[in-house]
Amino acid sequence: MTTETLTLVEAEALVTSVLIAADTSPENAASTARALVRAQADGQGGHGLSRLPSYAGQSAVGKVQGHAVPVIEDVKPGVFRVNAGHGFAYPAFEMAIPELATRARSQGIAAAAVYRSHHFGVAGHHCEALAEQGLIAFVYGNAPKAMAPWGAKEPMLGTNPIAFAAPMQGAPLVIDMATTTVARGKILAAREAGKDSIPEGWAFGPDGQPTTDPVTALAGTVAPMGGAKGAALALMVEVMSACLVGAAFGAEASSLFDAEGGAPNLGQLIIAIDPGPISGGAFEARVADLAALYDDMDGARLPGLRRLTARQIAQRDGVQIDATLLAKIRAFL
Amino acid sequence: MTTETLTLVEAEALVTSVLIAADTSPENAASTARALVRAQADGQGGHGLSRLPSYAGQSAVGKVQGHAVPVIEDVKPGVFRVNAGHGFAYPAFEMAIPELATRARSQGIAAAAVYRSHHFGVAGHHCEALAEQGLIAFVYGNAPKAMAPWGAKEPMLGTNPIAFAAPMQGAPLVIDMATTTVARGKILAAREAGKDSIPEGWAFGPDGQPTTDPVTALAGTVAPMGGAKGAALALMVEVMSACLVGAAFGAEASSLFDAEGGAPNLGQLIIAIDPGPISGGAFEARVADLAALYDDMDGARLPGLRRLTARQIAQRDGVQIDATLLAKIRAFL
């Protein structure tokens, strides 16, 4: 694979220009560019610049409203809604996070429901932004269907990630996982690379039986992580994002990868907790104690270190982007 | 195994009497009896009457304070703390739940931290009690160490369950899972039954390698569900219960099964959300739509049906208790 190296500043500028050329407002383009480049820098290419051609295509035809201006709607002292206006999710999150932080500090806990939303990228990044302000955060968001309910054969639930972050000395602790074993994109990539097989445990065929054949897997469903438990967690995420937000189910949402159909109409829910008051002041010391337990045990390490290392390298050396992808991106200009 | 059948009323009266005889106050004994019998009725024997001999033993020597009176401490409009006073957890939960429901309705979301706490039984029952009042609920609680951090060989984290419930027409949807593949008690039971092997995937030996030998497994660690992801979820629960509550880590807590050592000093965190306001009024219809998707798909079923069926049978026919256990229980009177 031929690649080209871009600094993070160059990458952000490129993404912004492409989105503006595809009928996205400058503010929304800049917000979306920050999110895609941050994902790329963290080694999360599946939520990075690879998304730009489909984002731009969707903005150009109005499947995503590039000029949407998110609006906060007050509901209760501890909760509010953000109408993302069928625009990109990132401007809605950037509006929600400071308001959520303010309310979490005054109320102790607060939640925001983002509706009429779109792909929200690396779930952990939104939690991390709150943890950098000293708050515990959860994000739940659904995604187009890929996984079957446990015992069924047809897809109904998405990769439905759970993300969590907590402030910790140095960098926040960030836990971010799909409730599937892998993203469907990984199976797609294996097929496109012409591979004969995928690892055991990734997928089921349309008959509900485990398969290692990528073609059979793409006709079937992605396996939940941990079997029945992962499928139950994905259902929990569906309740927290679609039902609790008033958004489309993964079973109803249009694709995030093409410009066909109406708006995906996805939903996301964010919770923030101020850890000082609820812990009686104990949180900071207890989380340091927990980090020390990990440091002191052979083989144990806190999740997220690989991501932080990738980020540091990207900040210093830039990101390497596949030349074919870059050519496709530049064709929008 | 010889068993004796008790009606739920008889079982509650027996548990209450035993706890009172072991120096627990009548109120705390009644609260604890309700919880143990409810677990037994739901087919969760591991949190049922099998716990009574160790509960009674701990109350008799003061490892658990049988006369503790839980106290609510106000912190912020959306959060409060409950000092369980090193008593049983159930009276603290019974005090927390109505207060939490009131605050969730007025604030939109609310949380309670239960500290100086003990074994909290079936995590899902506390969520279910909130869902029966029309609220979404989460409970996080830690437990004495049984699982290693991913990549390590020594136990640090407990079975650390995640429980969730949502109101749904008929009975609430309840999701309740240990973040280990199984409870350590299942491996103990296999060894005590003299079994040669346990299923693959349950446990690691002290060398960190998978094992199917129950003796090697008991010297090692219980496997997290879903590999690294389950170990990360267990860490999240540790942060939410121990750090955010100001309680002991699973790595520090004394055993819940014997009368040795000081109070376990565990912590639990409960979150309640009023789904109406935050969803813009959409929740009730959306959750009914989701249940219909499950009903309509071959093989799909919502989690928790087995538990509800067990409960109905127990309400009609009573619960069958192992005669050896019953003899041990009655010896306390």
Which residues does chain A have within 8 Å of residue B244's beta carbon, measured at their own beta carbons? 136, 273, 275, 278-279, 283
Indicate the pairing of strand B136-141 with strand B109-117: unpaired
Nearest Cα neighbor of B175 from B161, B157, B186 is: B161
Q: What is the pLDDT of residues B133-162, one digit of tens each?
A: 999 999 999 998 999 999 999 999 999 999
Interface touch A246/B108, C-beta < 8 Å = no
Instruction: State the smallest CA–CA distance between residue B314 and chain A in angstroms.
Output: 25
Q: Which CATH code for domain A1-67+304-333?
A: 1.10.1530.10
On whether the pTM is more than 0.90, the answer is yes
Strands B79-83 and B71-76: antiparallel
Tell me which amino acid residue A106 is. S
Question: Given a cut of 90, is residue B185 above it in pLDDT?
Answer: no
Chain A: nearest CA to B196, how far in angstroms? Answer: 25
Closest CA to B225 of B287, B179, B167: B179
To test the contact with chain B by mutation, choose from A83, A100, A279 the residue with the greatest count of B C-beta atoms within 10 A, namely: A279
Q: What is the mean pLDDT of chain A?
A: 95
Write down the domain spans for chain B.
1-67+304-333, 70-180+224-302
Contact A148 B233 (CB under 8 A): no
DSSP A241: I
Spell out a b/e string for B126-157, using b for 16 or more CB atoms within 10 Å of the CB, else e.
bbbbbbebbbbbbbbbbbbbbbbbbebbbbbb
Q: What is the pLDDT of residues B27-80, one digit of tens each?
A: 999 999 999 999 999 999 889 999 999 999 999 999 999 999 999 999 999 999
**Considering only CB atoms, which chain A residues are within 8 Å of B152?**
297-300
Contact between B79 and A278 under an 8 Å Cβ cutoff? The reply is yes
Angle at A118 between CA A113 and CA A120, to 5 degrees: 75
For the segment B206-223, the average pLDDT, to the nearest whole number, is 95
Q: Which member of A75, A136, A230 has the closest CB to residue B108?
A: A75
B175 touches chain A (CB under 8 A): yes
**Residue A49: helix, strand or coil by DSSP?**
helix
With a CB cutoff of 8 Å and minimum separation 6, the contacts of A26 are: A16, A20
Q: Is residue B273 very low, low, confident or very high in pLDDT (cuts 50, 70, 90)?
A: very high
Interface residue B296 vs chain A (CB under 8 A)? no
Nearest chain A Cα distance for residue B251, angstroms? 9
List residues bridging with A204 in a β-sheet. A210, A221
Cβ contacts of residue A200 below 8 Å, gap of 6+? A210, A212
Fold of B70-180+224-302: Ribosomal Protein S8; Chain: A, domain 1 (3.30.1370)
Phi, psi of B111 (to 5 degrees): -140, 150
A136 and B244 within 8 Å at the Cβ level: the answer is yes
Residues of chain B with pLDDT > 70, as a percent, come to 100
| Interface contact A107-B233, CB threshold 8 A | no
Contact residues on chain B for A166, CB-CB shorter than 8 A = 239, 243
Are residues B239 and A109, on separate chains, in Cβ contact within 8 Å?
A: no
Q: How does strand B162-166 pair with strand B173-177?
A: antiparallel
Find the closest chain A residue to B135 by CA distance. Answer: A244
Helix B123-131 to helix B26-41 angle (10° resolution) is 90
Band (pLDDT 50/70/90 cuts) for residue B184 is confident
Judged against a pLDDT cut of 90, whether residue B256 lies above it is answered with no
Contact criterion met (CB < 8 Å) for B109 and A106: no
Classify strands B210-211 and A173-177 as parallel, antiparallel or unpaired. unpaired
What does each C-alpha distance from A317 to A313, A314, B129, B159 come to in angstroms?
6, 5, 54, 42
Q: Are A297 and B271 inside 8 Å of each other by CB?
A: no
